[in-house]
């Protein structure tokens, strides 16, 4: 199989999968089976691509040429492959989880759900493999649109409001900032191809570069950098599998992935170091990390707390990207991978708790560890990963980030990382503690909670299996970080 064909298949498989799901809409089992099989297939494809890829002469697939001289082109590169690997690995797992979740939760419009899901993954693949900024932008926008029905899935007033905010913010930033930045870049350089070392020549003044960088990074609404972070908590009204895969992995990672790509391949790490705006953005990222952590601390709703945690974690990546040193970029790239395993586990847990125990608040979780030991154990693993303590995945990336900060002698960044670690601990550990060690609360005033299941046990097998799998992965990666690390270092040119 040639590389081009593989690339094409990587894009086509989820898209065709979406059609297959649509076609199988009357038969739920077939539909979900299709979903799952396609997920596996996709992962195998990505893995095989990654396995026999030569970085010197990557395959290039030209899809179209919407602008004269500017093609829609897919070219794998290390970071993208990493992103694709993670997304495609987690997709089948999420599908398993979703089967359990959606059925137990008696969701409607499941066909729409699985279809949009497949399209979203497909566009995430497109983002990952994008060979130039235009391609990335195209899939970025498709991803925004495709995830919209997932956010508004429930159709309630709240969901619609969230959907509006979601789409509005993402579209507004991308069309309002990223698109002009892109066009300006095109105007200045005549290319948008991702090139190691950047595309800007010396003739472009640093002021312009600063402005462009600001536009690019702020235009990436999916990176949830403050003040454009509001969509993420709002999007939590979506069903949990969505939150788990998309808002912990695909969508937000697409955002930070974009930032990283822009930083590394459009500006170049070295150029970045000389741009004033990079520092501004770094400060902004640091602020976001701290602010989001503080907010997370005050959120009682579990998914909201996780969402703010995500915002905070995403900004690590931005921070790393903006450091302007190779180690920072490596840390950022690693964090894309590492955060994914931890956060998806956490979301899986939150969903499992919601479906099984009908609890969504942190304050209700006292003693739940005894009823749902596996779930809460996985939760603990995820939490540790978030904090960045060994022996879980999060440690590795944080390590590199810290190294990068030190490398660049950015004491502000170092401080942010240290303080935020403390904050992370502060908002995750009490949950774990309460779940296992606090006594269970008496049921609230009866009658009010008709749907409460005081005698619930562990979550159903698909959910439990999925979340345990991801927790295990989070630990495994800590011990065998070879593949992602190699990829990221390749990217950073180390």
What residues numbered 154-183 form the site for other proteins, per CB under 8 A?
A: 155, 159-160, 163-164, 167-168, 171-172, 175-176, 179-180, 183
Closest CA to 253 of 215, 221, 223, 284: 223
> 54 with 308: CB under 8 angstroms?
no
Contact status: 278 vs other proteins (CB under 8 A) = no
- Residue in 463, 479, 484 with CA at minimum distance from that of residue 344: 463
The residue from 152, 366, 397, 489 that contacts other proteins (CB under 8 A) is 152
Binding to other proteins (CB under 8 A) within 5-64 occurs at 63-64
Record the tokens describing residue 422, joined without a space: 């403390």
Phi/psi of residue 191, nearest 5 degrees: -150, 155
CA-to-CA distance for 40 and 48, rounded, in angstroms?
A: 12
Interacting positions 451-480 with other proteins (CB under 8 A): none
Half-sphere exposure of 360 (CA within 13 A, CB side): 10
d(CA 177, CA 137): 12
Separation CA 336–CA 484 (nearest Å) = 10
CB 380 within 8 A of CB 429: no
Q: Which of 141, 279, 452, 458 binds other proteins (CB under 8 A)?
A: 141
- On whether the CB atoms of residues 328 and 405 are closer than 8 A, the answer is yes
What is the footprint of other proteins within residues 179-208 (CB under 8 A)?
Answer: 179-180, 183-184, 186-187
**In this chain, which of 11, 21, 74, 138 binds other proteins, going by CB under 8 A?**
138
Place of tokens 């390749």: 490
- Listed in order, strand segments (DSSP E) in 275-421 are none
R_g of the chain, CA atoms, integer Å: 21
| Closest distance of CB 347 from other proteins, Å | 24
**CA–CA gap between residue 243 and residue 39 (Å, rounded):** 18
- 493 counts as binding other proteins under rule CB under 8 A: no
Least Å distance between CB 173 and other proteins? 10
Site string for other proteins, 66-85 (x = CB under 8 A): xxx---x-------------
Nearer to other proteins, 242 or 408 (CB): 242
Query: Is residue 432 helix, strand or coil?
Result: helix
> How many residues of this chain bind other proteins (CB under 8 A)?
32
Structure tokens at 98: 């979703």
- Please select the residue that binds other proteins; options are 142, 150, 260, 323, rule is CB under 8 A: 142
Between 184 and 287, name the residue whose CB sits nearer to other proteins. 184
The answer to whether residue 145 forms part of the interface with other proteins (CB under 8 A) is: yes
CA 65 to chain centre: 29
Q: How far is the CB of 177 from other proteins (least distance, A)?
A: 9
Dig out the tokens for 182 from the structure.
Answer: 């892109």
Q: How far apart are alpha carbons 351 and 463 in whole angstroms?
A: 9
CA 168 to chain centroid, in Å, comes to 19
Q: Which stretch binds other proteins (CB under 8 A): 11-19, 131-139, 393-401, 411-419?
A: 131-139
- Please say which residue, 72 or 376, places its beta carbon nearer to other proteins: 72
Minimum CB distance to other proteins smaller for 208 or for 414: 208
CB of 406 to other proteins, least distance (A): 39
Per CB under 8 A, does 108 bind other proteins?
Answer: no
Residue 117 or 137 with smaller CB distance to other proteins: 137
Contact flag: residue 137 with other proteins (CB under 8 A): yes
Judge contact between 469 and 401, C-beta under 8 A: no
Nearer to other proteins, 44 or 183 (CB): 183
Binding site for other proteins (CB under 8 A): 63-68, 72, 134, 137-138, 141-142, 145, 149, 152, 155, 159-160, 163-164, 167-168, 171-172, 175-176, 179-180, 183-184, 186-187
């Amino acid at each position: 199989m040639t590389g081009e064909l593989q690339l094409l298949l990587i894009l086509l498989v989820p898209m065709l999968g979406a059609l297959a799901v649509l076609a199988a809409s009357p038969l739920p089992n077939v539909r979900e089976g299709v979903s799952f099989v396609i997920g596996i297939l996709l992962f195998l494809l990505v893995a095989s691509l990654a396995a026999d890829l030569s970085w010197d002469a990557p395959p290039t697939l030209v899809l179209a040429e919407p602008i004269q001289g500017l093609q829609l082109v897919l070219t794998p590169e290390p970071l993208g492959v990493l992103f694709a690997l993670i997304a495609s690995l987690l997709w089948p797992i999420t599908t398993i989880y979703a089967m359990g979740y959606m059925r137990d939760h008696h969701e409607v419009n499941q066909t729409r759900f699985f279809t949009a899901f497949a399209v979203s993954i497909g566009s995430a693949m497109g983002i990952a493999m994008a060979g130039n900024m235009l391609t990335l932008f195209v899939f970025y926008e498709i991803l925004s649109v495709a995830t919209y029905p997932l956010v508004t899935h429930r159709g309630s007033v709240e969901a619609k409001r969230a959907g509006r905010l979601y789409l509005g913010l993402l579209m507004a930033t991308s069309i309002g900032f990223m698109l002009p930045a892109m066009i300006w870049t095109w105007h200045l350089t005549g290319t948008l191809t991702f090139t190691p070392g950047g595309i800007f020549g010396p003739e472009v003044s640093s002021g312009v570069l600063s402005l462009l960088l600001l536009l690019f990074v702020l235009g990436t609404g999916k990176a949830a950098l403050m003040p454009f972070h509001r969509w993420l908590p709002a999007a939590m009204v979506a069903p949990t599998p969505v939150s788990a895969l998309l808002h912990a992995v695909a969508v937000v990672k697409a955002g930070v992935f974009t930032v990283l790509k822009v930083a590394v391949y459009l500006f170049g790490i070295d150029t970045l170091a000389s741009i004033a705006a990079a520092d501004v953005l770094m400060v902004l990222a640091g602020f976001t990390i701290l602010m989001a952590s503080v907010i997370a601390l005050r959120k009682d709703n579990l998914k909201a707390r996780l969402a703010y945690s995500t915002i905070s974690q995403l900004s690590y990546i931005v921070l790393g990207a903006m450091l302007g040193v190779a180690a920072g970029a490596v840390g950022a790239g690693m964090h894309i991978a590492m955060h994914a395993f931890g956060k998806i586990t956490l979301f899986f847990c939150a969903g499992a708790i919601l479906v099984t125990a009908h609890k969504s608040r942190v304050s209700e979780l006292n003693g739940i560890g005894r009823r749902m030991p596996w779930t809460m154990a996985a939760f603990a693993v995820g939490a540790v990963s978030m904090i960045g303590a060994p022996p879980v995945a999060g440690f590795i990336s944080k390590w590199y980030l810290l190294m990068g900060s030190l490398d660049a002698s950015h004491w502000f960044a170092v401080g942010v990382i240290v303080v935020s670690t403390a904050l992370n601990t502060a908002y995750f550990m009490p949950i774990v503690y309460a779940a296992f060690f606090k006594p269970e609360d008496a049921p609230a005033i009866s009658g009010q909670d008709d749907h409460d299941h005081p005698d619930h046990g562990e979550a159903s097998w698909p959910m439990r299996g999925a979340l345990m799998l991801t927790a295990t992965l989070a630990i495994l990666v800590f011990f065998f970080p070879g593949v992602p690390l190699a990829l990221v270092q390749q990217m950073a040119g180390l």
